Amino acid sequence: MKPALDEYLRSRRAAIDRALERSLPAPPACPRVLSDAMRYSLFAGGKRFRPILTLAAAESVAAHYEVRSTCGRPSDEVTALAMPAACAVEMVHTYSLIHDDLPAMDNDTMRRGRPTLHVVHGEGMAILAGDGLFTEAFALLAREPAGHGADLLERKRRVVETLATAAGVAGMVGGQALDLQATGGAPADAGNLAALEHMHACKTGALIRAASVAGAIMAGGNERIVSAIDRYATQLGLAFQIVDDILDVEGSAADLGKSVGKDAAAGKLTFPALLGLEASRRRARECADRAHATLASAGLTEGHLDDIVEWVVCRTR
C-alpha cells in the first residue's frame, strides 16, 4: 500500500469512527442491551471500506469541479456534507453482516476477528441489533447534514433512494436470496458465471455502488459525473468480490478476521470454483483496469479513487 494511501485510509477511518460515535443512539435513547449489541458489531474494527469510498468519491467530485478552499468551499465542508451518508452506509453494511452471519443464513461464528454477534448476544438480540442499525441509518440521513435548502434536500432524497434501493430486494436482500437458493445447488461450471456475477452485483456490488454514488451526489456531481462514479464502482465491486473469493481459498482466518474455506464446504458458487485461481485473478485485474479507465475518461483523476482500486485487487485481508 502506498504511504499516502495508507495515511489517507487511517485518517478517514478515524474520522468515520468519531462520526459513528456521535450518531449511534445510546441509553436512555435506547435500551442498553440493544446499544451494547449494536456497538459490538459496529465498532469491531472493520476496514470501513464502503464509507471511505463515500468520502473519497465526494472528494474526487469536488476536486473535479475545483471546489476547494480557494474556490469558496473548504474541503472540510465537502467531508461534512458526505459524512452522514458515509456513516449510514457503514450502519447498513454492519446490519447486513450481522444478519448474514445468523444460523439461518451463512451460519458463521467469527467476524472481524472475534465471535459473531449472535454467538455473544443470542440470535434474537442480533436480529434486533441489525434492525436497529438499518433503521438508524435512514434516520441519520433524514437529520443530517442539517439544512432546509432545496438543493440540499434533493441531494439527501437521492441518497436515501440510492441506499434503500441498494439494500433492498433489487440489491443486498435479493442477492442474499439468490445466494441461499444457489448454495449446494448448481454445479461449478462456467455456464453459471453470469448468474454468479448477477448475484454478487446485488449482494456485494450494490452497496459499494451506493456508497460511491452517495458521495458523488452529496458533493454536487451532475448526472454525467454521478454516472461515471457508478460505472467505476460497478467494476470495483466485482473486483472486490472476486478477491474475497480468492482469499477464502488462499487467506488465513487470522489475517481475514473471519472463517475461511466455508464457501467450498457449503458448496457455494465462487469465482475460483468456476474459473480457477489464476483466471479469477486476471478477471479482477480486468475489472480494475476498467475502473481506472472510467475515472480517466470522466476526468476524475484527483483524489484516491484510483489508489483504492489497487488496494482492492492487491489486498490480503
Number of domains in the chain: 1
Residue 254 has pLDDT above 90, yes or no: no
Query: Which residues, 6+ apart, have CB-to-CB distance to 305 below 8 Å?
Result: 56, 57, 60, 232, 295
- The backbone torsions φ and ψ at residue 111, rounded to the nearest 5 degrees and listed phi first, read -150, 130
The mean of the pLDDT values for the chain is 90
| pLDDT tens for each residue of 148-190 | 999 999 999 999 999 999 999 999 999 999 988 877 655 444 4
Residue 277 has pLDDT above 80, yes or no: yes
Distances (CA, A) of 307 to 261, 289, 291: 29, 12, 11
- Mean pLDDT of all residues in 123-129: 98
Are the C-beta atoms of residues 129 and 122 closer than 8 Å to each other?
A: no
State residue 269's pLDDT score.
80
Instruction: Using pLDDT thresholds of 50, 70 and 90, give the confidence band for residue 263.
Output: low
State residue 224's pLDDT score.
96
Beta pairing, strands 110-111 & 114-115? antiparallel
Residue 227 has pLDDT above 70, yes or no: yes
A 10 A CB-CB count for 168 gives 13
Are the C-beta atoms of residues 274 and 189 closer than 8 Å to each other?
A: yes
Instruction: Using pLDDT thresholds of 50, 70 and 90, give the confidence band for residue 267.
Output: low
* Residue 145 or residue 68, greater confidence: 145
State residue 182's pLDDT score.
79
3-state secondary structure of 202: helix
Distances (CA, A) of 295 to 193, 214, 226: 26, 17, 11
State residue 73's pLDDT score.
46
Q: How many residues does the chain have?
A: 317
- The backbone torsions φ and ψ at residue 35, rounded to the nearest 5 degrees and listed phi first, read -60, -45
- Mean pLDDT of all residues in 292-304: 95
Which three cell numbers, joined as nine digits, stand for 116? 459473531
Residue 68 has pLDDT above 50, yes or no: no
Q: What percent of the chain has pLDDT over 90?
A: 78
CA-to-CA distance for 138 and 49, rounded, in angstroms? 19
Total-model pTM: 0.91
* Residue 264 or residue 147, greater confidence: 147
State residue 76's pLDDT score.
80
Distances (CA, A) of 312 to 182, 223, 317: 26, 26, 10
Residue 141 has pLDDT above 90, yes or no: yes
Among 86-95, 97-106, 111-120, 245-254, the range scoring the smallest mean pLDDT is: 245-254
CATH number of residue 92's parent domain: 1.10.600.10
State residue 297's pLDDT score.
96
Range of the domain at 180: 3-314
